[in-house]
Each structure stands twice: as C-alpha cells, then as structure tokens.
Structure 1
Amino acid sequence: MISFFESLFRARSRKITAIFLSLLFFIYNSARTSSQPNFDGVVIVEPWKDPGISTSTPSPSPSAKLASTSQSCPPTIADNDFSPLTIRCRIQSAQAQAQSSLKSQSSTPKEAVTEYIRRYQRNPPKGFEKWVQFALDHGSKIIDDFDQIDRDLLPYRTPEAQQVFRELSAKKVDSPRTRRVTVENGTMTASIWYMYDDEWRRLLEPFVDALPDGTFFMSTIDEPRVLTSGQSHPDTVRFHDRPGQSIEDLITESCAQIPRNLTGRLGVAKDVCQATHPGELHALISSPSSFSYTYSLAPLLSFGRMSAFRDILIPCPCYLAHAFPDIQDPVPFLEKKPGVYWRGSSTGGKATRFNWQFGHRERFVSFIQSLQNTAKTLDAGQFFGANIDALDRKQIKLFKDVFDVHMGAYIQCDDEACKDMERTLGPVDIEPEDTATHYRYLFDLDGNSMSTRFYRLLAQNAVVLKQTWFHEWHDDRLVPWAHYIPVTMTMEELPAVISFLINDPAGESLSAEIAEAGSSWSREVLREIDMSIYVYRLLLEMADLYGQEDSDLVEQFDSE
C-alpha cells in the first residue's frame, strides 16, 4: 500500500517532470518558429473574456515599429494564446483603450447629472452635485466612471436586502467580525476600534460634514464575507465560520448563482468562477485563516473580494499606511536589472503539511524554482552529450538567471508545515524593502487578501506582474496590459510573457512604456484624495438606497 508521503512525492515528481517538458517544448518551439506564429485555426472567443482585447487593430505605439510590419493583430485572441504577436497585440490594444477611456468625462455638476441619468436611468442621490464639485476641486481625473459602485449595489436594490439592512440596524450587538459606522450631524463614530482606524478617519475627514445621516457596516477581517446559495436566503442574518477548511464547495455554489454578466467581463485572470478546481490554486479557498461568511444580503463594506462574493468594495485604508513614495523613482527603467523580483511571506491561509502546496504564494515560488532548475539542467546537458543545438540558448539563459524570487518568512503554518516548506522552497531570504527598485519587473500577488504593496510597486519605474483573484475599488481605473501585466493563477503563460518582455526588442520597448504608464497614471488616480472621493460617492449612494421606502426600490437584480 502506498503511503501518503510516497503519493505526495510521486505527485511532486510528476509536476516537476511536466514543468520540465513544458519548458523544453516552449524553448524548442520558440527556436523553431523564430517567433512566427501560425494563426490557422485561431480559437474565436467572446470579446468579454479579456477586456484588454478589442476587435479592431489600435494605432501602433512607437515601440510597435520594432515588430514585424507584416504581422497584423488577429480579430480575436484565445485566452491561451501567448505567442509574441498576441502578447504585443494585447498590450497595444490595452494602450489604445487606456488612451481613449477618459476623453469624455464631465467637467461641470450639470453635465455629470445628465450623464448619471443616462447611465443608470435614475436620478442621482441627494448631495451628488456637491460631490461632483468636490471631485473637480480636488483634480479628480474620473467623474463619470463609477460603474463599480453601481455593480456592487445592484443585488441590494431589493425589498429583501432592505429588510436585512433593517435587521442589522436594529441589533444592539454587532454581527461577528463587523463594526457599525454611524454618521450623524457631520460626525462619524464607530462601534469598535479597527487596526487602520486612523487611516479610515483620514479618508472621511475631507467630506464627512457633507454626508447625510446614516449607518454602514464594515467587515473587520481580510477575507470577503457575503456568499450566495442556491437555496432561499435565511429569514434572519446568520454568520458561519469555517477557518482552516476548504471552502471550494461554497465558492462553486455561489459562482453558479451569480449572473454571468457580472463576472464574464473580468477575464480568466481575475475570475475565480472560471476555475475548475480553485481550491488547488489559492490558499484562501484551500484553507482560509479566519473565514466567516453569510448567505444573507448583508451590505458589508470590504476591501477586496473574489467574483463569488457580493461584498461592497471600499478602498483599503491600509494603502495609506503603505503610501506612494514621496519622490518619483529616480532610476530609469532601462538602467535597471532586467530581472523579475519578489520577496514575501507565506501568507494566504492556514498552512498544514497536507495543504500548503495549494497556497498561491507557495505555488508561485515552487513554479519559479522549477523553471530555474529545468533551465539549469538543459544548460548542463551539453556536457553530457545532450544535443541542444536546436534549442534557443538565449531562452535557457533567461530562465536560469532572470528570477530573484524567495520566501522572506514562513508564517501562518504549523511547525511541521513551516519546516516542510523551508526544506522544499529554501531558507528564508530577507532583503531591505527598497531592493525592488533595482529591478525592471516586480511580481505582486495576493496574501490573505489583496496585496497592500500594489500601489508602491506601480509607482516605480518598473512593470508590475500582477496575479490576483481579488477585485478592488480601483479595478476600472487600471487597464491590464497597459498599466500592469496580469498573470493567471495557473501561471501557464508566464514563461512566454517573460520571454517576450525581456528577450524580444519590441517587448523591451513596450515594457518601458508600461512602466511609465503605470507609474504616472497611478499617481494621478490612486491618490489618497481619490480614495476619499470614491468613499464619498459610495456613501451618498448607500444613504440614498437605504433611505428609500420599500415601494420605491427597483427590483432589477433578478431581471439582469
């Protein structure tokens, strides 16, 4: 009878062998085709699967001159197609989208009211014109494009959701791991202290005196909270706990209930509902640290959520504690080391020796090490009679040397799991935070929730490679492939993307453009005041929503 450890060893051996063969095929195929992909039989996909792909060829950026003029972009691109041409087309299409997306923002309160009514087919909330003037006075680049708020509040525009809000408001004791925030006569009070309480008050301070009286409910933990069941919603608000256990069944059930038009627009990289076995890809799903959830339509404000959840997004005050650098990155992109850098701890979930290999951070480090080891094996093979003349030595050297990726700490794991991870993934390697400024490519991925270092990384003259299933308030403000490079949770495309960005002259030039666009644009739309403007608008909408009578509610969610 095969023991658990023998099974685990065999599974890991098969995984390493598969990665070896995949990389071998990738390097060999790159050399054979000389970056000339064949588009016979290109899979046609729905345009919504990747919002960065348009159906028309955008005007080329200066870097496009480096690419072959004989290769035009296909009308659609399959999710799994990452040839040099399609990567370039993704980037150029996204750049065109980013350039055109803000050309028609309102410039007066009157224009904003007209646009609001056109978009949402209802009148704006009380205080809206004052909010518009506040946003204009503080230099907001975005006035009209707050569709994220409308999507978030959509499921709460029902009598049933109104009843849940009344029940929460009538409770004398807060629901588990939540806190009540009350605004009255221009003053904010909270039922309990929160870790980022000072930063939260900083966000509200510029406008709190303009808010109508109201009550709101915030989650006090990292994880999202509000799921959907195939059964009818409970009569009373109940919360359930499942720490340290798989929640894949809950995610799958909830995904089946959420309308496709609310998740399809996200693309495969950002949508947990498109994953067949999400518990094998992310620690929050395989073994969350402190998972507390409800099936009731409780209007909880959360800092991040996956597409299976219905929490209402607000900017995380933690970004104020990890703010943009005071000065711009003084090192030009092309003067930095052409490498991929990451340091981080093993956060994400509650790791044991039986589940840590499903953690997204552990999987990332293990995957990178497999690429490095495979490249080193291929490189050494020439001394043992291996014929690698047909292989691209440039690719081998790239994957052997390009990554500087290590765990900085093993935490949120029991003793056995911590020791097992260190044996497998290597010893802790801690470096100063500013080490990242020396690299062109900076990897960023989820922890227990979304990564709080994202803004700091975007602000640098570097390309951020972003892997996440978490949605945040800023998602509509940043264009994937134009301001950062999205990475899927499986990372199957990562070798091809890295090879194009670093080894291809067009990729290097496009990388410099992405670094510049991400740095400059994030400093314009992710400022502290931009977060305040977003919260101000959201709280106006919620005060209006929960100030209505039941008869005035529009039951539009079930009809979408």
Structure 2
Amino acid sequence: MVSRQSKTVEEAITEYHRRYFRAPPTGFDSWAQLALDNDMLLIDEFDGMTKAFEPYQQVGPNVLAKILERVLDMDLDDLVIVKIENSQITSSSDKFWNYHGEYLHDWLAKPLYKELLPNLTIILNTFDEPKVVIDSKYAQPTLDQASNIQFTNFGKTHPWSRMTLNCPGASPVSEVAEHIAVEFVADLTQTQDVCQHREYEKLHGFFNTPGNLNLVDLPVPLFSQARPSTFHDLMYPSPYYEAHRDDYNEEKGFPWDQKRTSLYWRGSTTGGYNTIENWQEMHRQRLVLSTIPQNGPYNITLLEQKTSRSSWNPYRTISTPKLQGLFETSVSEVVQCDEEACDELKAALPPEGSQPDSASYHHKYVLDMDGNGFSGRYYRILRSRSAVIKQTLLKEWHDDWLVPWYHFIPLSMQGSEVWEMMRFFSTDEGDEIGAAIAESSSRWTETNLRKVDVELVTLRLILEYGALFDRKQ
C-alpha cells in the first residue's frame, strides 16, 4: 500500500482525479505538499472519508447554508459549533463537550494550515451515536425543507426501519433474518454493510435498542466520530483518541513471549438500552455470556478451509472446557438497563469492577467491541503489542489505513468463530501469526498515527468540506 502512494504534488492531484472523477478542493496542492514534507505515508488513502461527502455534493451551497443556519438556531447540547473566519478558529466554549472544538482548533492551528482554511461553520457531534440518515425524498431539499429541519429522538426504541430506510428493496435487510453459518470474516466491507445483514437488527445494541439516538433525515453536514454504513455523517478523527494518546506506557507493557495466550476483555454493559426482553441479544453481553465458564460446558464447532477461496466447514466438535483457559472476559459494571433487566444482568454476569488499563497488556489477544458508539480504547491496545480482535459495525476515518488480518483480527457480529479463532492462535503457527499482527499494529500507530498525521487528515477533511460551499468548485 505504501509503495504505490503519490510521491509528488502532481501525482497526488492526478490520483485524486482518477479516484473521485472530480477536481480536488481548493488548497489541495498545498495540502499535498505539506503531507509530503511531513512524510505522511498514505497520502492517497482517503476513500471512505472523501466519499462520505458525495451526498452533500448534490445539495446547493445556499441550501446547505440554510441547513446550518437552522441547526445553529436549535442550540443543541450535543453539538459543538466551530467557526473559521479570516483564519481565526473559535468554538462554542459554553458547551460541556467543547474539548472537541478545542482539539479541532489545536489540529488546525499551525500557520501553514490556517492560511489554507476557508471561512466556514462546522458542526461537531460530540455524542457517541451518529445522527444523519438521509431520506431519499430529501436528498435535494428545498429551502423551505431546509428551514424546517427537526431531530427526532429514537432513544430506547427499536429504530431499525428508520436506520435502514435507504437499503435497496431487494437487499437482505428486507428479508426475514435467518441463522447465519459460522465463518471467519473474509470481506470486512461486506460484513459491515448493514443492508446485507438483517440479523444485525438483533445482534448489535445500537440497532436493537439504542440508549440515546437523535436522527435527522435531511442532509445535515455534521461531523461524527464513527457511523454505520447506512448513516451519512461525515467522519473526523475522534478527539477522545487524542485526549488519551499517552495512555499506553511502554514501561507497563510486555514483550509478546511474556504475555499469556488468552483473550481479554472487561467492560460495562453499554451498547444499547437493556430490557428484560433484549439484554441477552446485546453484542457485549452475548460475547461475554458465550465465553465465561459459568455458562458451560457446551459443544462448539471448529472450522477448516480447504483452500483460500473455499468456505469454512465444520471438521470437529469439542467441549468448551478444553479451551476455556484461552478466555478472560467479564463485565465491569452493569449500566443502561431498566430495574428488572439490571437484576438479571447482575445475576448472569456479576460485575467485577474496573481494572487498570495495563491489565490487558498481560494477554496476547485483546478484544475490542463497540459500546454505544466506537471504542475509545482501540488506539491504546493497538499500541500495546497485543493482537487486537476487533468486532465493530462502525466506520471510522482510519479504516482506509488499517488492513484486516494484518493490523487487526476482525470478528463477525455473531462472534461464534471466536472459539476456533483462539484454538488456532494457541498453536505454534497461530502464535507466529498473532505475534506478527501485534507487531504490525504497534508499528502502524508509530508511523501513521503521529499527531501531524491527525492534523493533516483533519485539514484535508476541512478542505473537502469547504468545497461544498465553494460555488466555483
């Protein structure tokens, strides 16, 4: 991937035309020179971030301006407003979550960046949950429609149909969910395509019963930290990651051969609002329930693949006690539940309290799962020289830069393959592969997650955003 990146500004401009069939935004040439001068390794890999702007390119600048005006009038607590005027950056300092605006200011504060900034109003969604699912009938709204935008609260409801309203009628999302065969993730894009997976309605807390969710059905160009495939929020680097950049300390870590061959996860029962009817369906609870010894023993199916292109097929059934030592999963705290569900959760998954971050560093494999939104611990454990087993339906800005099975190990939303996965990683061959993945992820954070990389990603996103309002573009 690195070897094919543009080596000059001219190559970067040509590659942009090739990928997106349009001219790059004003200031792109200067941005590309800055990226080259600062040794950014993946100067061309912005597909996910850039294509997120496409729905908004169908909306006129005057309508987008009216949409922003209407949203600003709402003065919503979970939105931070950042304004850029004559290269000066200000944000709504009275908001509790204003550190999002402060980090954006910090990332864009260098004089060479500021001179490229257009005059803009930027909306940052500070909550974990994204907000924008554009209804096709409002894809090109009128000024009157733009003046009457409303956010609708779907918290503690079942908004699956609203979240998937843009899925094609013939897609699996419109069919009755069926039992899904146990397989390893071979195509992460397909796995995260919500329209292809009706079963996600039950398997992920955000789609099942989100604790908090305010949706808008018009093209509101706001920035969120993560989103599923059916949402239209623009993506930007999470300030939470930046605030916790130094949480991993090499002195607290361990070399691979001193770690235990086991999978670690401990966290709270976030991810959705738990009721007596649904708590066993929530993604975090399901994974822990399926891996703790209290719920065994039961038989599990091990899988094999005859060739690299063939399906995974069962080859052996064993009892869980033979593999139980490979798992250390538990709940730290029971939250986001009604009284009856809380009682059942505490009985089934007795909360064991929090542990220091360093607890995970003793394990060769660390599980990372979505909570209410993206997982804020992801970068820390990528740095920790453990191999990350990642279960997520959420897209983030860095997805263009991280390669499944090279930088991390993808886990399906069903999660049933985790037993065979850990059995394999307990073998000599599996241990070598796990060690290589752990080393790749740690090296990635050192070379692609420098502060200057995050700054340059943010600057490019702002230039793309500015092009939406540039009538010459």
TM bin (shorter chain): 0.7 to 0.9
1:200 lines up with 2:104 in the alignment:
yes
Q: 2-side partners of 1:128 and 1:257: how far apart?
A: 39
CA distances 1:406-446 after superposition (whole Å, capped 9, x unpaired): 11111222333222101011232432221111100000000
> What code does the residue aligned with 2:206 have?
L
1:279, 1:358 within 8 Å by CA — same for their partners in 2? no
> What code does the residue aligned with 1:196 have?
Y
Residue 321 of structure 1 corresponds to which residue in structure 2? 243
**Aligned positions of 1:158-307 closer than 5 A:** 158-159=58-59, 162-171=61-70, 173-174=73-74, 176=76, 177-191=78-92, 193=95, 194-197=97-100, 198-206=102-110, 207-229=113-135, 231-232=137-138, 235-236=145-146, 237-256=149-168, 266-307=188-229
1:109, 1:133 within 8 Å by CA — same for their partners in 2? yes
**Aligned positions of 1:114-133 closer than 5 A:** 114-133=14-33
**Aligned positions of 1:132-147 closer than 5 A:** 132-147=32-47
> What code does the residue aligned with 1:156 have?
Y
Q: 2-side partners of 1:268 and 1:369: how far apart?
A: 30
Q: 2-side partners of 1:268 and 1:485: how far apart?
A: 16
Pairwise CA distance, 1:209: 4.3
2:80, 2:98 within 8 Å by CA — same for their partners in 1? no
Pairwise CA RMSD: 2.8
2:130, 2:227 within 8 Å by CA — same for their partners in 1? yes
Q: 2-side partners of 1:266 and 1:157: how far apart?
A: 27
Where in structure 2 are there 5+ consecutive unaligned residues?
Answer: 173-185, 301-314
Residue 108 of structure 1 corresponds to which residue in structure 2? 8
User: Of 149, 152, 157, which residue of structure 1 is paired with 2:57?
Assistant: 157
Pairwise CA distance, 1:225: 0.9
User: Of 274, 282, 295, which residue of structure 2 is paired with 1:359?
Assistant: 282
1:526 lines up with 2:449 in the alignment:
yes
TM-score with structure 1 setting the length: 0.72
Pairwise CA distance, 1:472: 0.1
Q: 2-side partners of 1:417 and 1:163: how far apart?
A: 48
1:423 lines up with 2:347 in the alignment:
yes
Pairwise CA distance, 1:468: 0.4
CA distances 1:490-533 after superposition (whole Å, capped 9, x unpaired): 0122212111111x321111111111111111221122221111
Pairwise CA distance, 1:128: 1.4
Question: Please, which moves more after superposition, 341-350 or 184-193?
Answer: 184-193
Pairwise CA distance, 1:258: 12
1:269, 1:487 within 8 Å by CA — same for their partners in 2? no
> What code does the residue aligned with 1:169 have?
L
Q: 2-side partners of 1:488 and 1:185: how far apart?
A: 47
User: Of 397, 403, 406, which residue of structure 1 is paired with 2:330?
Assistant: 406
Where in structure 1 are there 5+ consecutive unaligned residues?
Answer: 1-100, 378-389, 553-560
1:178, 1:218 within 8 Å by CA — same for their partners in 2? yes
Give the secondary structure class of the aligned counterpart of 1:512: helix
> What code does the residue aligned with 2:196 have?
Q
Residue 437 of structure 2 corresponds to which residue in structure 1? 514
Q: 2-side partners of 1:315 and 1:167: how far apart?
A: 26
CA distances 1:318-338 after superposition (whole Å, capped 9, x unpaired): 001221535477522122100
Seq. identity, %:
32
Give the secondary structure class of the aligned counterpart of 2:397: coil
2:209, 2:273 within 8 Å by CA — same for their partners in 1? yes
Distance 1:540 1:322, change over 3 A: same
Pairwise CA distance, 1:296: 0.3
TM-score with structure 2 setting the length: 0.84
Q: 1-side partners of 2:136 and 2:35: how far apart?
A: 41
How many pairs were matched up? 432
> What code does the residue aligned with 1:493 have?
E
1:373 lines up with 2:285 in the alignment:
no
Pairwise CA distance, 1:231: 4.2
Distance 1:211 1:328, change over 3 A: farther
Question: Please, which moves more after superposition, 173-182 or 287-296?
Answer: 173-182
Pairwise CA distance, 1:265: 7.2
1:444, 1:454 within 8 Å by CA — same for their partners in 2? yes
2:152, 2:216 within 8 Å by CA — same for their partners in 1? yes
User: Could you say which structure has the larger radius of gyration?
Assistant: 1
Give the secondary structure class of the aligned counterpart of 2:52: helix
Pairwise CA distance, 1:272: 2.3
Q: 2-side partners of 1:265 and 1:374: how far apart?
A: 32
Residue 180 of structure 2 corresponds to which residue in structure 1? none
**Aligned positions of 1:67-86 closer than 5 A:** none
Give the secondary structure class of the aligned counterpart of 1:267: helix
Residue 312 of structure 1 corresponds to which residue in structure 2? 234
Distance 1:298 1:368, change over 3 A: same
Distance 1:231 1:119, change over 3 A: closer
Q: 1-side partners of 2:392 and 2:374: how far apart?
A: 7
Q: 1-side partners of 2:250 and 2:424: how far apart?
A: 31
Pairwise CA distance, 1:371: 8.9
**Aligned positions of 1:330-479 closer than 5 A:** 330-369=253-292, 373-374=296-297, 396-479=320-403
1:102, 1:142 within 8 Å by CA — same for their partners in 2? yes
Pairwise CA distance, 1:269: 3.2
Q: 1-side partners of 2:69 and 2:295: how far apart?
A: 58
Pairwise CA distance, 1:244: 0.7
Distance 1:391 1:327, change over 3 A: closer
Pairwise CA distance, 1:473: 0.1
Pairwise CA distance, 1:392: 8.2
1:372, 1:399 within 8 Å by CA — same for their partners in 2? no
Q: 2-side partners of 1:269 and 1:501: how far apart?
A: 22
